Structure 1
């Protein structure tokens, strides 16, 4: 069995970091960890090693933890497998139907994250709100963002429905766009105030 990173020598740690194929978003973490080791900064080294047993686990957990800070999370809660969760609790789902939904997540500091699930025939996709989404401070702006994202998917689908009616069903897309217009009026149109 391989040694966990905290049990390795400095040279072994540096080699493990050099061997790790980091994506662009992870490189700054690798660089900071290497600098901590070279400077023999025990506090920073312990910081990184508190996030896992391997370079892979440390990099992903540090990345998620530091992104969580943007959303007001300061705790380091690991699941039973040693990973930090980046998902936000969903506080509202605005549904056009069962497959076309705006998911609004909210963090501990009140910041929102918005994702959508969409389906226009057999084509579709979706995700759960997480700390990797852009933070949005205002609820109405979060709803507008979700509507705008669905509009983008439907516009794309409508263009492609000319040549691919299986994935992009034109009749279904028209129905979705009509429902979205109604949703847009309900959530974003100015409301008339009554004096009596």
Structure 2
């Protein structure tokens, strides 16, 4: 596939892409922004979009990633060898292990991080025994005003996930001992958090 260079003559390429694709709202919004730049003959804006990728898919995803990063104060623009936006590195990263740290499937991890500005976020890796899920921290996660707010939200999120599977019939994937151990660790972390807030 040839690289696309947006220009004032790119209206058909963009509208064809819109009509043939199943787009999420942010993609549709960015493509409409490109169409607006085409209609206004705004080559500077089109060149800016061009700097984010070799095709409309790369441009929309990379611009969205860049703008989400701006919400956390990240301004650097860089791409990997495949042309995808490089994920910014969060500051003051913490990995809080809840449960048995000696066994991979017997603990969950609450990740905390702060952007370049004072905005914090969190994400989870959660384990019920064999079942579980999660992700690593990114600019797409919830935005919170402080470390304490991120910690509280993360602990509450994990507590809700664990509480929802207490008594689950599938005791192989949802080991009750792991779930209860994690809930106890959450309770202790919440107590410690309140005690630290008093000082």
TM norm structure 2: 0.85
Q: 2: CA distance between counterparts of 1:192 and 1:130?
A: 30
Equivalent residue for 2:5?
A: 6
The equivalent residue for 2:179 is 173
Deviation of the 1:17 alpha carbon: 3.2
| 2:91 corresponds to 1:92 | no
CA distance, structure 2, for counterparts of residue 187 and residue 16 of structure 1: 53
Contact 2:6–2:46 (CA under 8 A) maintained in structure 1: no
Q: Which residue pairs with 1:24 in the alignment?
A: 25
Q: Given the alignment of the two structures, is residue 127 of structure 1 paired with residue 135 of structure 2, yes or no?
A: yes
**Aligned equivalents of 1:129 and 1:20: distance in 2?**
29
Alpha-carbon distance in structure 2 between the residues aligned to 1:111 and 1:155: 28
CA RMSD of aligned residues (A): 2.1
Contact 2:14 2:31 survives alignment (8 Å): no
Answer yes or no: is the 8 Å Cα contact 2:11–2:35 preserved in 1.
Answer: no
- Measure the CA separation in 2 of the matches of 1:191 and 1:20: 50
Residue ranges of structure 1 left out of the alignment (5+ in a row)? none
**Pairwise CA distance, 1:189:** 3.6
Q: What number of residue pairs does the alignment pair up?
A: 190
| Farther-moved stretch of structure 1 (74-83 vs 140-149) | 74-83
Q: Which moved more, 1:170-179 or 1:112-121?
A: 170-179
Question: Is the contact between residue 121 and residue 142 of structure 2 (CA under 8 Å) also seen in structure 1?
Answer: yes
Q: Check the 8 A contact 1:20/1:56 in 2, yes or no.
A: no
TM-score, normalised to structure 1, is: 0.87
Q: Distance in 1 between matches of 2:59 and 2:21?
A: 11
1:101-180 equivalences in 2 (<5 Å): 101-159=109-167, 161=168, 163-180=169-186
Query: Within 1, Cα distance between the matches of 2:160 and 2:154?
Result: 10
| Cross-structure match for 1:49 | 50
User: Is residue 112–residue 138 contact of structure 1 (8 Å, CA) maintained in 2?
Assistant: yes
SS state of the match for residue 117, structure 1?
Answer: strand
